[in-house]
Amino acid sequence: MLGNLTGWHMIIVLAIILLLFGAPKLPALAKSIAQSMRIFKNEIGDDKKRDGADGTTAGSTDRHAPTGSTTTSSTDGDLPHKP
């Protein structure tokens, strides 16, 4: 979809952005975008550190039932026993 864009298309898009936001607002817009990217990267790094400290990887789930007192008794029926 975007493969058909040429250099002229990009120049036209940048000119439209310049007209919409105006020259004085563009540095503030760029600063805001850069700050948002920096925060995003820091959060991603924090998640990776947290996952590494726990010994798990991102996206890993435990598919087994938890080990604990989840047995049923004859009085409880089919409900698991809660400690």
Q: What pLDDT is stored for residue 39 in this prediction?
A: 94
Contact 28/36 with Cβ under 8 angstroms?
no
Residue 78 counted as domain residue: no
Tell me the average confidence (pLDDT) per consecutive run of 10 residues in the chain, 83 residues long.
78 88 83 93 87 62 52 54 58
Q: What pLDDT is stored for residue 68 in this prediction?
A: 54
Residue 74 counted as domain residue: no
Residue 38 counted as domain residue: yes
Range of the domain at 33: 23-51
Q: What pLDDT is stored for residue 52 in this prediction?
A: 76
Residue 42 counted as domain residue: yes
Residue 46 counted as domain residue: yes
pTM: 0.40
Query: Rounded distance, CA 19 to CA 1, Å?
Result: 25
Q: What pLDDT is stored for residue 26 in this prediction?
A: 81
How many structural domains are present in the chain? 1
Residue 77 counted as domain residue: no
Residue 56 counted as domain residue: no
Q: What pLDDT is stored for residue 29 in this prediction?
A: 83
How would you class 51 by CB atoms within 10 Å of its CB: exposed for 0-12, middle for 13-18, buried for 19 or more?
middle
Residue 79 counted as domain residue: no
Q: Which residues contact 78 (CB under 8 A, 6 or more apart)?
A: 72
Contact 61/50 with Cβ under 8 angstroms?
no
